[in-house]
Structure 1
Amino acid sequence: MIARLHILVLAALATSLTACATQDRTATAEAIAATAGLRRMVIATGPFDLTAYVRVRDPAQPMVVYVEGDGAAWRSRSEPSLDPTPRYPMGLRLAVLDRSPNVAYLARPCQYSWGSACKMAYWTDRRFAEEVITATSTGLDRIKTTGRLHLVGYSGGAAVALLMATRRSDILSLRSVAGNLDSEGINRHHGVSAMPGSLNPIDVAPRLAHLPQTHLVGGDDKVVPPLIAEGFIARLGEARCASIIRIPKASHDDGWESVWPVPIPSCRNP
């Protein structure tokens, strides 16, 4: 009985600490978003509530949507965190630098907004699962102002953006920053286990060859090395619409704000 009580107390303490951490990280996100006039909204998508920050100045123009990375998904190489909400939301930091009239930021499931569907698997081995991509695509439908979108994905958010783009007809362009364009390739590179519950963007690369796309890679990125983007471009088959920009001194989570935004990509003439 005492042991059970001890477990319940520890569980309650962990829940309390997680809630406090989320509140602190939400306050950080609010402060960042406010610098560019982005306002918070929470989108109910069925299994997940997604947090978004949105600014609309000209509803007739396309919207640029930034998809956040994996956030604080892991405490160590082998230990998942209790809360994936990012401490340093790079996707949001890039969004506030964008002077486009319509800009939106989409957090990933269970970042900032918690719900009954938030199981640890959704920020570990199922972070690119079918239900995650479907829910995030629903989020896009709720925030878009016109029929056209430009997508930007940071880190794991790039995988989500690319996977969404294969099933939508309203995407004008893709940009990735330190993008996870091949989740299984990255796992092999780091010697970690595969994610059978997740989809892998490189598997659908040929279906994206027609979309203008730019992939930014960091010369000092030890998490997603440049070879990942190179392999993805090779898998496209036709690379007329794709390019890689190498930022020599950028690491996975540093060096991007100083070069952002990069121009919206376009396809080269044949």
Structure 2
Amino acid sequence: MLSDLHQYRFETAEYRAGDFNIFAAVRMNKSDSRILHIVIEGDGYAWVGRYTKSDNPTPKDAVGVKIANAIQGDVIYLARPCQYIASSVCETNKYWTEERFAPEVVRAYNNILDQIKANYGVSSFIITGFSGGARIAYDLSMMRGDILAVNTVAGVIDVAAWTSYHDISAVQAIDHQSSMNMAQVAYMHICGQDEAIVPCYLHEKFIKQQSKKSDAVHNLVKIPNYSHSNLWAPAIKYLQIENPQ
């Protein structure tokens, strides 16, 4: 994967935030744009099987890297905790399983965005999240006022609905019911109609719920004949790349 990043003209980096070390790949073309695109990776190789947790969540197929490479312009790819690099928090597997969306994880990414703003002088972000990375992107959009748009690709957003669908143990996630960010973030959700991991109806249910809570725009694109691992390629043309306002 690292050779692919160099081929794609990315420079690797590492962000320290809280107790987490987060791997990053940066491609900055020194454009005049003050809007930066962030791509957040999926859960990676979190599970060996339905009942067996992985010892290393580094993706076997880094879909987030493929998405980042396909985006024109300045972009920073952010891996998830314990992918590619380890820290003391990686001594247990909770941060790529039941606590992968825990508040301290989201706070770490929030801190990283602050670091990125300071380092590169950007004013706002567009964030694309793949699979579980979509939930991190959504959480950040609810916490910050500088996120213009969020794209989710095969995204896990409603964590409780997703775990119920798969009949698996609950996964900790932030409850935004009482802390709704009313900023006008534009959301684009992209799902594959052959998807079994995050079926389109979960997106439809989530969007219906959100329409009752805020004026934020949630759009949904359903792509036929694509599923979780290959959806990224046709999804690229639907991503919000420019300021949607």
- TM-score, length basis structure 1: 0.82
2:36 matched residue in structure 1: 63
Cα distance between partner residues in 1 of 2:71 and 2:41:
15
Cα distance between partner residues in 2 of 1:208 and 1:227:
25
User: In the alignment, is residue 198 of structure 1 matched against residue 173 of structure 2?
Assistant: yes
Q: Give the match's secondary structure for 2:128.
A: strand
1:107 matched residue in structure 2: 79
Cα distance between partner residues in 1 of 2:145 and 2:128:
16
Q: 8 Å contact 1:98–1:261 — kept in the other structure?
A: no
Distance 1:106 1:236, change over 3 A: same
Deviation string 1:30-84 (CA, Å, 9 cap, x unpaired) is: 2222233111001111201000001112254311000000000000011110000
Select the structure that is richer in strand.
Answer: 2
Deviation string 1:155-197 (CA, Å, 9 cap, x unpaired) is: 00000110011111110101000000111101111111112x3
Using CA pairs below 8 Å that are at least 6 residues apart, which structure has the higher relative contact order? 2
The match for 2:149 among 153, 173, 187 is 173
Q: Give the match's secondary structure for 1:104.
A: strand
The match for 2:128 among 124, 135, 152 is 152
Deviation string 1:142-163 (CA, Å, 9 cap, x unpaired) is: 2243111000000000001100
Aligned-partner residue type, residue 64 of structure 1:
H
User: In the alignment, is residue 249 of structure 1 matched against residue 225 of structure 2?
Assistant: yes
Aligned-partner residue type, residue 47 of structure 2:
W
Which structure has the larger Rg?
1
Distance 1:208 1:242, change over 3 A: farther
Aligned-partner residue type, residue 65 of structure 2:
L
Equivalences, count:
236
Point out where structure 2 has 5 or more consecutive residues left out of the alignment.
Answer: none
Q: CA RMSD in A?
A: 2.0
Q: Give the match's secondary structure for 1:117.
A: helix
- 1:1-270 aligned within 5 A: 28=1, 30-57=2-29, 58=31, 60-100=33-73, 102-118=74-90, 119-144=92-117, 145=120, 146-195=122-171, 197-199=172-174, 203=177, 207=181, 210-237=184-211, 238=214, 241-264=217-240, 266=244
Q: Which deviates more from structure 2 when the two are superposed, residues 139-148 or residues 128-137?
A: 139-148
Cα distance between partner residues in 1 of 2:221 and 2:106:
26
Distance 1:239 1:225, change over 3 A: farther
Distance 1:220 1:262, change over 3 A: same
- TM-score, length basis structure 2: 0.89
Aligned-partner residue type, residue 114 of structure 1:
A
Q: 8 Å contact 2:12–2:24 — kept in the other structure?
A: yes
Aligned-partner residue type, residue 49 of structure 2:
S
Percent identical pairs in the alignment equals 31
Cα distance between partner residues in 2 of 1:253 and 1:95:
15
Distance 1:156 1:205, change over 3 A: farther
Deviation string 1:87-123 (CA, Å, 9 cap, x unpaired) is: 10111110000112x1010001111110111121101
Select the structure that is richer in helix.
Answer: 1
Cα distance between partner residues in 2 of 1:112 and 1:179:
22
**Structure 1 consecutive aligned stretches of length 4 or more whose deviation exceeds 3 Å:** 203-209
Q: CA deviation at 1:239?
A: 5.9
Q: Which deviates more from structure 2 when the two are superposed, residues 52-61 or residues 69-78?
A: 52-61
